[in-house]
């Protein structure tokens, strides 16, 4: 199985304010849907791993989140691709859970659900916590400049954590998908 793990906000869709609170506010970044369709058609299994602390903060509820994720899956499916699953952390930073990235609980859950080892799989994110979670599981960390990516890139250059030199940087999901298609096929 060719697994690709993706962050959601800033990778697939635009950030907005402090949280995306509804399906109406959930707007894809140009080219991201097509990028997922391309990978999907090439036989990659696409799984989203996203921190959604807005749930813990009461900014939106599970119905809202499901509506956003239905919109995402539906937009990819109508274009001929598919999202295999969306894993989310519903907790806030003070909940001390094991799933909030940079912790690895979401990736652990993906491994169990799909009976797959995530080591070596591309993990595309826009934040340092994405890259750190990816590195902790031996995934190939990929940073996109979309979303908070430019900020993260600046952070990256000032961090001394081992492994961060392995991070690949692309303008957006479309560019990252092209690279993945060529190097992880």
Binding residues vs Zn ion (CB under 5 A): 89, 91, 97, 99-100
Which one, 99 or 139, has the nearer CB to Zn ion?
A: 99
Per DSSP, helices labelled H in the chain are: 32-41, 53-56, 62-77, 105-114, 128-136, 149-158, 173-183
DSSP symbols for 147-163: TTHHHHHHHHHH---TT
Nearest distance from C-beta of residue 55 to Zn ion, angstroms? 10
Q: For 115, which DSSP code?
A: T
Nearer to Zn ion, 31 or 105 (CB): 105
- Nearest 5°: phi and psi at 170? -135, 160
Please, where are the H alpha helices in 8-61? Answer: 32-41, 53-56
Cβ atoms of 80 and 41 within 8 Å: the answer is: yes
**Nearer of residues 96 and 182 to Zn ion, judged by Cβ:** 96
State the minimum distance, in angstroms, from the CB of residue 63 to Zn ion. Answer: 19
Upstream peptide bond of 102 is cis (omega within 30 degrees of 0): yes
Return the number of the residue (100 or 137) whose C-beta is nearest Zn ion: 100
- Cβ closer to Zn ion: 103 or 148? 103
Q: How far is the CB of 38 from Zn ion (least distance, A)?
A: 31
Shortest separation between residue 108's beta carbon and Zn ion, angstroms? 12
Half-sphere exposure of 8 (CA within 13 A, CB side): 24
For the bound state, the minimum distance from the C-beta of residue 97 to Zn ion, rounded and expressed in Å, comes to 3
């Amino acid at each position: 199985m060719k697994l690709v793990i993706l962050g959601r906000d800033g990778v697939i869709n635009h950030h907005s304010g402090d949280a995306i609170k509804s399906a109406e506010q959930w707007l894809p970044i140009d080219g991201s849907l097509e990028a997922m369709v391309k990978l999907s058609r090439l036989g990659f299994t696409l799984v989203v791993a996203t921190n959604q602390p807005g749930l813990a903060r009461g900014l939106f509820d599970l119905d809202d989140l499901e509506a956003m994720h239905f919109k995402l899956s539906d937009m990819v499916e109508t274009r001929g691709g598919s999202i295999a699953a969306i894993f989310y952390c519903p907790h806030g930073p003070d909940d001390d859970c094991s799933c909030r990235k940079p912790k690895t609980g979401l990736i652990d859950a993906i491994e169990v659900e799909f009976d797959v080892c995530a080591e070596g799989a591309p993990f595309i994110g826009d934040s340092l916590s994405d890259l750190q979670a990816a590195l902790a599981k031996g995934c190939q960390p990929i940073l996109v400049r979309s979303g908070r990516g430019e900020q993260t890139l600046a952070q990256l250059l000032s961090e001394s954590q081992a492994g961060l030199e392995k991070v690949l940087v692309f303008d957006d999901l479309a560019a990252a998908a092209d690279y993945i298609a060529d190097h992880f096929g």
